[in-house]
Structure 1
Amino acid sequence: MIEIMSSAALCTVQDFGRLTSRQYGVGTAGAMDQLSLAAANIMLGNPENSASIEIPIFPFKVRFTQDCDFSVTGTEGEVSLDNSRLPTWWAYSAKAGQVLTIHQPKKGCRAYLALGGGIDVPIVLGSRSTQLRGEFGGLEGRMLQKGDCLPAIQATDNRPLDFGMTSPLSALAFEQENTIELRVVTAAEYDEYATEAKELFWNNRWKVTPQSNRYGYRLHGTEIRPEKPIETLSHGIVPGVIQIPPGGQPIIQLRDAQPSGGYPKFGTVIEADLWRIGQAAIGKHIVFKEVSLKDAAAAMQQNKRYLDDVKQMISLQEAFV
């Protein structure tokens, strides 16, 4: 079990989310960076979908109230276990009474703290994820607070852990001058926009504005306008959908977004790149690259190979522990 010792504003319990409840009007919720969540769990021998803490505010501090294995992924930076400094993307065994501090990251903006077996909160509609809009899931359907206690499903097995791995943040395909590239497939209303508007979309450097959160990222750049006003009924949307409201500034719908909306759908960030959005901080710039559905499927396989490589590396490291 751990006790939250610092202000935990915006920190929540998340797993992969509710993938089969949108037809009931329930958004997915789930980790913004699911690649990092999966990697954190793999290092502990947990199922990849095990619930962990998503941390966007630093420093973040917890106290272990019993012996427990843990790992920290997502951002690149440092953590402290009492007075010992460790890098992130590391798995370790803590003793009861020890204090873990996750410091301000050098790269990325969301860290994930996983515990042995996963965090033990109730399963609601097939997921332990916090749904803030509906106030259910996670811990009482809310953000974590100082003094909250969260149990791990399993305590340490007394097999000392002390190993790490390489963060995928180091391998971002395009991260220059605070710019991140996201691959996009075009969506239903794309052809309602003139060639000039389409070129503006693909050639712009879009800034992530302070109005961005887990519901969606609001971007700022040159306005994108259709050839004539587009009127649509409210329709289904999924995380990654890029909608263009009347103001002409794109919104990327994300994990806590409602499952339907009426703004025109210009494109969709491919699923394999959603973790990159999760690590794009306020003020970062985004560029979009058009890809095909075939490219999108290949990118998902690349993510899978990364996690397979992680599993193989952990197996090799454990052989020498």
Structure 2
Amino acid sequence: MITILETSALNTVQDLGRPGYRNLGVGTSGVMDALALQVGNILLGNQMDDACIELQTYPFVLRFETATTFTVTGIDAAIELDGRTILPWMIETAAAGQVLRVGPPKAGARGYICLAGGIEVPVVLGSRSTQLRGSFGGLDGRPLEAGDTLETIATALDVVGYGALPPAAVLDAVATAEDSKVIHLRAMPATDYALFTPEAQQRLWDTPWRITPQSNRVGYRLSGAPLELRHRVELRSYGVVAGIVQVPPAGEPIVQLADANTVGGYPRIATVIDADLWRLAQARIGTRIRLHECSFAEGVAAMQPVNAYLDRLRMMVAHYRSSAHSRAGMKSGAKA
């Protein structure tokens, strides 16, 4: 079990989400950065959809009530265990009573505290994710508060001292030296792309869009020169998934994210590919992003390096844990 000692708004329990219910008006939810959660769960030997704590605001402080192995992924931040600095993306084991503090990130936006065995909250519609707008899932369907306790399958692994290279250090990005502070994302022209003027189409790819303060887990609102339609249109509502870029009447795009509406009616100009959604999840308010046009085939192929990165990590963890167990067995035999 863990106890939350300090937290700001909007920190929640999340897993990989609850697909399969959008036809009933229930969004997917789940972590914004699915890659960071998968890395944490692989490092800990968890199931891939085991739940974690998603951090959006800082500082965040918790106390381990039982010995637990854990990792913090997603961000580069000042992280301390009982005052001792520890590294993100690394496996650590806390003793009962020790306190973990995660400070504001130096890089990235959303951190993930992953615990060996996961977090035990009720499964609602196949998921432990918090759906804030529906007030269900996670811990009573709400953000975490100081004084909350979370049940865990408390596990202290007998192997520590290994970790993962962050995805940003391994996976190639579409970037140039001239604007390295801009986050570059690949996107495919969407269903309604042809409804926009040629000038708007070009502007979509050329503009360094700024993420506005009116952004959250539902979607990122982007600020830039408006995108104009060739003529006014009325569209029927359609299904919405994370990554779709809609354009409201004002002309400034909205990128739908983890808590996206299940249906919408604004024209769809593009869709950010799955392989780059984790980059968008780690973009802070005020950050500028650039969209780069890619084809459907290129978008599908872009998942290959991501999957290869996860596969290499699985192999590394399996090898490390096997070697550690072998060494432990040899020591036990020598003592006997």
TM-score of the superposition, structure 1-length normalised? 0.97
User: Are the aligned partners of 1:10 and 1:57 in contact in 2 as well (CA < 8 Å)?
Assistant: yes
2:205 alignment partner, SS class: helix
Letter in 2 for 1:149: T
Return the alpha-carbon distance in structure 2 between the equivalents of residues 273 and 66 of structure 1: 37
Structure 2 equivalent of residue 30 of structure 1: 30
Moved more, 189-198 or 171-180: 171-180
Within the alignment, does 1:211 sit opposite 2:210 as a pair? no
Query: After superposition, where does 1:146-165 map in structure 2 within 5 Å?
Result: 146-157=146-157, 159-165=158-164
- Among 263, 268, 280, the alignment partner of 2:266 is 263
Count of residues in Structure 1 that have an aligned counterpart in Structure 2: 320
CA contact 1:76–1:167 (8 Å) conserved in 2: no
1:190 matched to which residue of 2?
A: 193
Distance in 2, matches of 1:154 and 1:102, equals 20
* 1:83 shift after superposition: 2.1
- Which residue of structure 2 lines up, in the alignment, with residue 12 of structure 1? 12
Cα deviation for residue 194 of structure 1 reads 1.6
Partner of 1:168: 167
- Find the partner of 1:309 among 312, 325, 334: 312
**In 1, Cα distance between the equivalents of 2:294 and 2:180?**
23
Could you tell me which runs of 5 or more consecutive residues in structure 1 were left unpaired when the two chains were aligned: none
User: AA paired with 1:80?
Assistant: E
The amino acid of 2:122's aligned partner reads P
The structure number with the bigger radius of gyration is 2
Asked whether the 8 Å contact 2:44–2:91 carries over to 1, the reply is: yes
Report if aligned partners of 1:108, 1:169 keep a CA contact under 8 Å in 2: no
Q: Distance in 1 between matches of 2:303 and 2:42?
A: 18
Q: CA deviation at 1:286?
A: 0.5
CA contact 1:93–1:162 (8 Å) conserved in 2: no
Aligned to 2:139: 139
Contact kept, 8 Å, 2:81 with 2:101, in 1: the verdict is yes
List gaps (5 residues or longer) in structure 2.
325-336
Q: Displacement, 1:155?
A: 2.4
Return the alpha-carbon distance in structure 2 between the equivalents of residues 313 and 209 of structure 1. Answer: 40
Distance (whole Å) between structure 2 residues aligned to residue 18 and residue 290 of structure 1: 29
Residue equivalent to 1:61: 61
Post-superposition offset of 1:314 = 1.7
Matches within 5 A, 1:69-148: 69-148=69-148
Alpha-carbon deviations, 1:206-261, whole Å to 9, x = none? 00000110000000011101011121122111011000000000000111111001
- The yes-or-no answer on 1:200 pairing with 2:203 is yes
Deviation at 1:319, TM superposition (A): 4.0
TM-score, structure 2 normalization: 0.92
Identity of aligned residues (%): 45
CA RMSD of aligned residues (A): 1.3
Pairing of 1:41-52 with structure 2 (within 5 A): 41-52=41-52
In structure 1, how many angstroms separate the alpha carbons of the residues matched to 2:159 and 2:277?
A: 33
Structure 2: distance between partners of 1:201 and 1:317: 46
Report the alpha carbon displacement of residue 320 of structure 1 after superposing the two structures with TM: 4.5
